[in-house]
Structure 1
């Protein structure tokens, strides 16, 4: 019951200025009586720790061999323009190249995902009191949405050259070039040549954020995922 009082009070605190947060904390302390309440510092520390845990595990999962390729939730398919002509490509003998391209496209994303963690950690370190309370009051993916807002630009900037490098390294670019060049030689077809680097960057980032959102939801809903005392305390209050 006391935990519910705490959360109800927090949810009433819609405006997140420092003064209002402090006032809310004071009221919560009185409501909880002798029970040891959360402090603002604990809320921030707990949320930062949850974010570090979620982003680290999400990035680690994505960067493993088959992290993208064998995960149907984030596997990167053919670009939409190429999907439209996949049957034709297979009919003209490019089936193996199509399969190799899909595999190497995902290998490139797995390779690039290794670069994501430091970008996320940097954003987490800059989290403000207002950010923390907004996340605690938010939905099961509020922390992930915070990361999207604060890291997407930096992540894309970092990812694009890494993706380009990775796609070249695993020969995705070569297979892509073969597919597109061969298809475009067919008379009377609409030429295709989508921006592979931009497509792969966007899909790789989408996959990372999806994994992080799943980790965040687990921490919020599953007590077994709260592996430290601060995580247990912060998220234990939110029933």
Structure 2
């Protein structure tokens, strides 16, 4: 899975580099046109994907990243606390790990969907993003891709649960909890929950990169990025 992701990133970056070089070659007097602004924003979004999102697709990409680690849903927090209080911390930890492994399996599907959205960005989109809020590019991607990402992630996460025996783990965990005295039965839809949490993690990491490029000149790693983002400084 990770090799496929890296290959996709390389292809996208090569395409972006060709577009950026064309843009630079067309500059007659140092002024940026709509085309160059759009190209700069596309490069920034590609950086967000290649520098941040792909780190989620490896083992522990979610589980050991405190920004995006998937925890139990609110209604199951009491399950976690109760199990730990009676000496079943290992079972609780295994349940958390399963949630994050499923997200790590699914996140690679984000790259081609993001690429389509980036390539579809118009000049108007680019200007609005550049002069908008510090996370405007991330919000653009969220609006353009969330529905498609959910449709891709959900069945993969469901299959991942089956592949690693998550059904058995969660059945065991919740059954033990439900059998405790004075507790109400719990039966959450974990596939839907993890899908949405995985998407939050993707957009969190894209936003980290976007804010870095906007705020830190050193992260603007090409001439075009420096010139485009200087417009919003």
TM-score by length of 1: 0.81
Regions of 4+ moved over 4 Å: none
Asked if the contact 1:219–1:225 (Cα under 8 Å) also holds between the matched residues in 2, the reply is: yes
**Does structure 2 retain, via aligned residues, the 8 Å contact 1:63–1:114?**
yes
2:231 is matched with 237
Residue matched to 1:83: 77
Q: Matched residues in 1 for 2:109 and 2:167: separation?
A: 20
1:1-239 superposed matches below 5 A: 36-239=30-233
Give distance in 2, aligned partners of 1:231 and 1:52: 12
Q: CA deviation at 1:139?
A: 1.2
SS at match of 2:31: coil
- 2 CA distance for matches of 1:117 and 1:180? 34
- 1:79 CA displacement: 1.7
* Deviation for aligned residue 1:93: 4.8
Backbone CA RMSD of aligned residues: 1.7
1:157 shift after superposition: 0.7
Offset from partner CA, 1:62-94 (integer Å, 9 cap, x none) = 112221111111111112111023232234553
**Is residue 98–residue 175 contact of structure 1 (8 Å, CA) maintained in 2?**
no
CA contact (8 A) 1:94 1:179 kept: no
TM-score by length of 2: 0.83
SS in 2 for 1:74: coil
> Which sections of structure 1, spanning at least 5 residues, go unmatched?
1-33
Contact 2:79 2:174 in 1 (8 A): no
Larger Rg, first or second structure (1 or 2): 1
Stretches of structure 2 lacking an aligned partner (at least 5 in a row): 1-27
1:222 Cα deviation from its structure 2 partner: 1.4
Quick check: 2:107–2:198 contact (8 Å CA) kept in 1?
A: yes
Equivalences, count: 206
